[in-house]
Amino acid sequence: MSRAEKLRAPRGTFDILPPDGRRRRELAGIAAELFDAAGYEPVETPIFEDTDLFARGVGETTDIVQKEMFTFEDAGGRSITLRPEGTAGVCRAYAEHGMHKLAQPVKLWYAGPYFRYEAPQAGRFRQFSQIGAEALGSDDPSIDAELILLLRDLLERAGARGVRLRLSSLGTPEARRAYSGELREYLRARESELSDDVRARLDANPLRAFDSDHPGTRSVVEGAPRLLDRLAPEDSEHLVAVCALLDDAGADYELDGTLVRGLDYYTRTVFEFTSDALGAQSGVGGGGRYDGLVEQLGGPATPGAGWAAGIERILLASERSGAPGPAPVFVALEEGEDARRGFALVRRLRAAGLGAEMEQAGRSLKGQLKHADRRGARWVVIVGSGELALRDMTSGEQRPLGDEGQLIRTVTELR
């Protein structure tokens, strides 16, 4: 008889197993607290969207749209795509639901799965999760600064190590177009030293040369003109205002004119947080301003800014936190004891707000104590023919308890 081949999770995906589920939930809890305090509302958009949304929103010349989307036809013949990022969907929802009629800015946050067909490696997956925020309807520099500081606070509270912030401005699309022409000329004059990839995109998107890790390209771009030196006065002023707010908040950052992002919708502010604790995929989170995106998707002219951070990367960059075990009380049964009594007791403990589990695999009392210890239980309640007994798993001390009421009082007090 041939044995069936063991099935595995698809390449670039992973299972979230204990204790990671708990760590992820803790991180989402920190994010929820920070966003609540800053007036951001949770939002959810579909996991798949019309392909056109990303082609128009993220940009035809980006790696994401050109080669990283999970796109397929549904049974009705429509081209749909698993979302590679969250901003386009949120802006679509803003336009679709006429959210420009609400008091502005509309501040939203989200967490969920995203999909990119990338070569898997440490910290880079084909299904990953992001926490993200978008603030729509205001171009005030305080929005940019607030968003940046929210991500900084999230990374700090999550315990991410070696975090650095790079900041720049991409100006207006017009300034960028003029600059692109200048940069293209500069690069073209040195074409033979560039990577094939950068050369192939010289026409469509010369700024991507700054993203390259090809040594020849890197040395060419070192001497290239910088967009930061070509900004229109109002864009420079916007950047200076963002920087002043970050300075007031005591945030460290590096102004870096070589910062380019892998999405086409950015205008003015762009930023990226990296962590030294990560390998090649050092970007933990990034974002920026996208003042033309809602309009590009058919909505009214609406400024916007936001960021997204990879949940897996934040956790990889953080010290493992010693999250407490699932339930502090374990109800053990003496041999021959009726499990119904234990079951009812567990329900009473839980109703009183105490985490409780019971023996459910037919172990001996000794086996149950060992199991409770492995589960990280703080106390074991022993249900037997005589009185209930409470065992402190840290000290090993055991004491009799009159009745269930006393048990609950005692455990609640000791807690």
Q: Which stretch binds ligand HAM (CB under 6 A): 208-216, 302-310, 330-338, 365-373?
A: 302-310
Nearer to ligand HAM, 31 or 331 (CB): 31
Residues near 136 by Cβ (< 8 Å), separated by ≥ 6? Answer: 90, 91, 94, 99, 104, 105, 106, 107, 108, 294, 302, 303, 304
Residue with tokens 């803003």: 94
Q: Which stretch binds ligand HAM (CB under 6 A): 128-136, 198-206, 208-216, 252-260?
A: 128-136
CA distances from 195 to 9, 48, 61, 277 (A): 35, 34, 17, 28
Q: Minimal distance in Å, beta carbon 98 to ligand HAM?
A: 21
CA distances from 111 to 7, 24, 44 (A): 28, 11, 8
Q: Minimal distance in Å, beta carbon 154 to ligand HAM?
A: 12
Query: Per CB under 6 A, does 116 bind ligand HAM?
Result: yes
Q: Minimal distance in Å, beta carbon 274 to ligand HAM?
A: 9
Query: Per CB under 6 A, does 132 bind ligand HAM?
Result: yes
Distance between CA 109 and CA 94 in Å, rounded? 13
User: Which two tokens mark 48?
Assistant: 């798949």
Give the HSE-up count for residue 114: Cα atoms under 13 Å, Cβ half-sphere. Answer: 24
Binds ligand HAM (CB under 6 A): choice among 59, 105, 283, 303: 283
Q: Minimal distance in Å, beta carbon 160 to ligand HAM?
A: 11
Query: Per CB under 6 A, does 86 bind ligand HAM?
Result: yes
CA distances from 64 to 72, 124, 162, 213, 245 (A): 15, 14, 28, 18, 32
Binds ligand HAM (CB under 6 A): choice among 59, 89, 285, 303: 285
Nearer to ligand HAM, 112 or 376 (CB): 112
Q: Minimal distance in Å, beta carbon 116 to ligand HAM?
A: 5
Q: Which stretch binds ligand HAM (CB under 6 A): 130-138, 175-183, 215-223, 236-244?
A: 130-138
Nearer to ligand HAM, 121 or 364 (CB): 121
Collapsed DSSP state (helix, strand, coil) of residue 133: strand
- Contact between 310 and 115 under an 8 Å Cβ cutoff? The reply is no
Residues near 173 by Cβ (< 8 Å), separated by ≥ 6? Answer: 267, 292
- Residue 272's closest CA among 170, 139, 398, 400? 170
Nearer to ligand HAM, 117 or 186 (CB): 117
Query: Per CB under 6 A, does 256 bind ligand HAM?
Result: no
Distance between CA 146 and CA 63 in Å, rounded? 29
Binds ligand HAM (CB under 6 A): choice among 105, 137, 287, 342: 287
Q: What's the start-to-end Cα distance of the chain, in Å?
A: 56
Q: Which of residues 304-343 bind ligand HAM (CB under 6 A)?
A: 306-310, 312-313
- Chain residues binding ligand HAM by CB under 6 A are 85-87, 116, 118, 123-125, 128, 130, 132, 134, 262-263, 283-288, 290, 306-310, 312-313
